[in-house]
Chain A
Amino acid sequence: MLSFEASVNSNVVKKLKALIVDDDTITRMILKALLMKFGVETHEAKNGQEAILAHHSGACFDLILMDLYMPVMNGHQTTKELRDMHVCSLIVGMTSQEKEEEKKSFMDAGLDYYY
């Protein structure tokens, strides 16, 4: 599978699909608008459980933007579960937390990048 960056830069016509996993409506709106500027088809999940259910229903995404702190199922748990399901999407973690050990733990759950 092409990396997200390579896909954007290549002449591949296939529309990229992204899943935004965040409990905050404003964050989802902003990320959706940003991704749409790049022609990315966006989907949303309000928490990790919705993200897992979407995958169980057969959805797959090129990119998953994953918030850390969410009700019902947090980003750490969700990322780990998606990787256990052999989901190979690019998963980028997002959080304003500054504690290094929390960032490292989130990365260790299976993120590709952290923002």
Chain B
Amino acid sequence: MEQIQRKLAEYTASLYNEKILDEQFIQLQQLQDESNPDFVVEVVSLFFEDSERLLNELAKALNQTNVDFKKLDANVHQLKGSSSSIGAQRVQRVCISFRNYCDDRNVEGCLKCLQQVKIEYTLVKNKLETLFKLEKQFVDAGGSFPVV
């Protein structure tokens, strides 16, 4: 159990050190309690669903002959908001650049940002899924998290 606990602590620290997550994720964890035991997983799962839908919408929008930059910006704004809400810092940062390219009506810039945001999203998704697996291993081994 100690080995799992150490592995979990090191992995968690790496997520913050690599700026994959920011303190907003800690605040999410603090909202989880006995009355809401799966809160973080539920919120993050919703983030995954929303993000995948938005990324598809963004790809479709940029594939049009006449790009609707207003609609594009609205979707990026949404993705920026939800990534910020869960602490997915790197996704949020790409969204900020993406919005600037939308303002400039720069298709090439938007396409580059779309590629970048897909990379960052895939990274944070994989990292969070690994985190949840490690947390489950920790709990299954008899560990518990402090209740706030």
Given A34-B31, A96-B80; A26-B50 close (CB under 8 Å): yes
**Which residue on chain B has the smallest CB distance to residue A30?**
B85
* Interface secondary structure of A, over-half rule: helix
Given A25-B50, A37-B31; A30-B81 close (CB under 8 Å): no
**Which residue on chain A has the smallest CB distance to residue B85?**
A26
**Out of B35, B42, B81, which one reaches A29, CB within 8 Å?**
B42
Task: Kindly provide the distance from the CB of A93 to the nearest chain B CB, expressed in whole angstroms.
Answer: 15
Asked whether B43 lies within 8 Å of A27 as measured between CB atoms, the reply is no
Check A24 for interface membership: any CB of B closer than 8 A.
yes
Task: Kindly provide the distance from the CB of B34 to the nearest chain A CB, expressed in whole angstroms.
Answer: 12
Asked whether B31 lies within 8 Å of A25 as measured between CB atoms, the reply is no
Check A87 for interface membership: any CB of B closer than 8 A.
no
B82: chain A residues at CB < 8 Å are 24, 26-27
B31: chain A residues at CB < 8 Å are 30, 33-34, 37
Per the CB 8 Å criterion, the residue count for chain A at the interface is 12
Check A69 for interface membership: any CB of B closer than 8 A.
yes
Asked whether A24 lies within 8 Å of B78 as measured between CB atoms, the reply is yes
Per the CB 8 Å criterion, the residue count for chain B at the interface is 19
Interface residues in B39-68 (C-beta closer than 8 Å to A): 39, 42-43, 46-47, 50
**Out of B43, B77, B80, which one reaches A26, CB within 8 Å?**
B43
Check B28 for interface membership: any CB of A closer than 8 A.
yes
Asked whether A29 lies within 8 Å of B43 as measured between CB atoms, the reply is yes
Asked whether A25 lies within 8 Å of B77 as measured between CB atoms, the reply is no
Assembly CA distance A26 to B87 (angstroms)? 12
Task: Kindly provide the distance from the CB of B19 to the nearest chain A CB, expressed in whole angstroms.
Answer: 19
**Out of A24, A34, A37, which one reaches B81, CB within 8 Å?**
A24
Assembly CA distance A96 to B86 (angstroms)? 15
Asked whether A26 lies within 8 Å of B86 as measured between CB atoms, the reply is yes
Check B84 for interface membership: any CB of A closer than 8 A.
yes
Task: Kindly provide the distance from the CB of A107 to the nearest chain B CB, expressed in whole angstroms.
Answer: 21
**Out of B28, B33, B46, B81, which one reaches A96, CB within 8 Å?**
B81
- Nearest first, the 4 A-B pairs at minimum CB distance are A33-B31, A26-B85, A26-B82, A26-B46
- Give residues in A with beta carbon < 8 Å to B: 24-27, 29-30, 33-34, 36-37, 69, 96
Additional A-B contact list (15), CB under 8 Å, known A24-B81, A29-B42, A37-B31 = A26-B43, A26-B46, A26-B47, A26-B50, A27-B85, A29-B39, A29-B46, A30-B28, A30-B85, A33-B36, A34-B31, A36-B35, A36-B36, A69-B77, A96-B84
